[in-house]
Chains A and B, each alone.
Chain A
Amino acid sequence: MKKIQSIFIAIMAVFSLSSCTYNKLVEQEEAVTRAWADVETQYQRRADLIPNIVNTVKGYAAHESETLEAVINARSKATQITIDPTNATPEQIAAFQAAQGEISQALGRLLAVSENYPDLKANEQFSELQAQLEGTENRIAESRRLYNETVQTYNVSVRRFPNNIWAMIFGFEKKAMFTAEAGAEKAPEVQF
């Protein structure tokens, strides 16, 4: 009888310990989801800005249609990719990043082209749109940094002993991060 009792207590003790770990892992996973949502919001914000920018540029530089179309195409391609952060593979994140990177490149070219149009450059609305775009790129960079930070905290907890045992039992897996990408993810340089 005494043996059964002690075994029962041992099981309870183990479970109370694991529930603590479990809750912590759940919390950290939620933080990752939140951070990802912020990343998506910022990318969406940029996607929403694009029609305005394209239309403004069109008014001054209609024959730059190739550059304009590249932006629109990149945008429609990127907005199709959505990711569930709870089980995103590194490949999915990379695909998302590549699609968004294409927008950045297309926008960069568009802004470079707009340098050739003094009237456009002097346009107040365009200047403000550029500022909004620049601010959005900054926000994207910041939200990605925060996302990576959150994922790193989570990954460390998942992999650390003895958490890794519970993580394995409850199915918490290591999550993918953004990788620094040469050039493609750099905010377009906006010169005034």
Chain B
Amino acid sequence: MRKVLLILYSLFVAVALYAATYTPDNLPVPYLEDKTQYVSNPDGILSQDAVDSLNTWLGQMEERHGVQTVLAVVEHIDAADTYDFCMKLGLKYGIGSKEKNTGLIILLSTGDRAYTILTGRGLEGTLPDAICKRIENHQMLPALRESDWDEAMLATVRAITKYVDGDDSLVGDSDFEHNDGDGTALTLFLLFLAGALGLTIYAVWKDKRMKSYCPSCHQYKMKKIAGRTTKNKLLGIRSHHDTYQCTNCSFIKELHWDEDLHSTGGAAAAGGALGGSFFGSGGSGGFSGGSFGGGSFGGGGASGRF
């Protein structure tokens, strides 16, 4: 029994150890599930406060300047070095927009004591290698030496934001679906609702008007003088027999129409159904995952060890 427990325990430890080593293929990228999450913190090295701040800042950076970032802090990586890891990650996901190539990857491996800032081809002008190095030397390194991982990442992103903000040529990409995605969906939905409501009102009005039409004097002055309703459970319909008389020429017309008991009425029902499904997709859009645009990385940026 003891042996079994020991084996189980060692297995558990092995799995735990294995889980703490990441490859570009198994690194969790929360952005894909939730586009407000830029930080990959699978080992919980960063505090939740730091993660929240970083996500906010990186979100603003993407919104304002179209710079799409993945920031990862892990214990161990399984790659030649952090640069290699970042390049493979960039190649795998195509971080950044395809036209502007403004992707950014920041990786810190605390166990390997190594870090990399990798810039997409379109960011090499805003964040040249020397600037990346300067940011690393001045902002990241002092905190890393004290094992203050939160501060290292916060200071780095703060400094990068300053450089990115200072570059007027970097503008937020209006094509980024998540920037105006929610707004567009909401507007479309409201427009659709208004349209469905209008159609329903028009259908009711038209129906009423047709009923008041007098075939004899061609005026809309018929009034209902008698009505009788029969229900047919077998067919699932309700039959209406109404009698209308014209107030102008006293002409009498009989109206007979069947109502389908399974639906509550033409346009409104259709509108409701459509609106419902539309709202469904719009609702899921609120917290949906982000997508990477297919940006490419030429190898710019800077790496280092501490």
Residues of chain A whose beta carbon lies under 8 Å from any beta carbon of chain B: 124, 127-132, 134-136, 138-143, 191-192
Checking A129, A138, A140, A191 against B83 with a beta-carbon cut-off of 8 angstroms, the contacting residue is A138
Check if A132 sits within 8 Å of B87, measured CB to CB. Answer: no
The smallest beta-carbon distance between B266 and chain A, in angstroms, is: 54
Chain B, residues 272-303, CB within 8 Å of chain A (1/0): the string is 00000000000000000000000001111111
Check if B87 sits within 8 Å of A131, measured CB to CB. Answer: no
Interfacial chain A residues near B134, Cβ < 8 Å:
124, 128
The smallest beta-carbon distance between B208 and chain A, in angstroms, is: 64
Q: What is the chain B residue whose CB lies nearest that of A130?
A: B133
The smallest beta-carbon distance between B306 and chain A, in angstroms, is: 8
The smallest beta-carbon distance between A142 and chain B, in angstroms, is: 4
Check if B300 sits within 8 Å of A131, measured CB to CB. Answer: no
Number of A-B contacts (CB under 8 A): 49
The smallest beta-carbon distance between B62 and chain A, in angstroms, is: 24
Checking A136, A141, A143, A192 against B304 with a beta-carbon cut-off of 8 angstroms, the contacting residue is A192
Checking A124, A134, A141, A143 against B303 with a beta-carbon cut-off of 8 angstroms, the contacting residue is A134
The smallest beta-carbon distance between B251 and chain A, in angstroms, is: 73
Checking A128, A140, A143, A192 against B130 with a beta-carbon cut-off of 8 angstroms, the contacting residue is A128
The smallest beta-carbon distance between B124 and chain A, in angstroms, is: 9
Interfacial chain A residues near B133, Cβ < 8 Å:
127-128, 130-132
Bound complex: CA A138 to CA B82 (Å): 12
The majority secondary structure among interface residues of chain A is: helix
11 A-B pairs in the complex with CB atoms less than 8 angstroms apart? A124-B134, A127-B133, A130-B133, A131-B304, A132-B128, A132-B129, A138-B301, A139-B299, A142-B298, A142-B299, A143-B298
Check if B137 sits within 8 Å of A138, measured CB to CB. Answer: no
B305 in contact (CB, < 8 A):
yes
B132 in contact (CB, < 8 A):
yes
Bound complex: CA A141 to CA B84 (Å): 11
Check if A191 sits within 8 Å of B305, measured CB to CB. Answer: yes
Bound complex: CA A53 to CA B305 (Å): 21
Bound complex: CA A18 to CA B300 (Å): 41
Check if B304 sits within 8 Å of A135, measured CB to CB. Answer: no
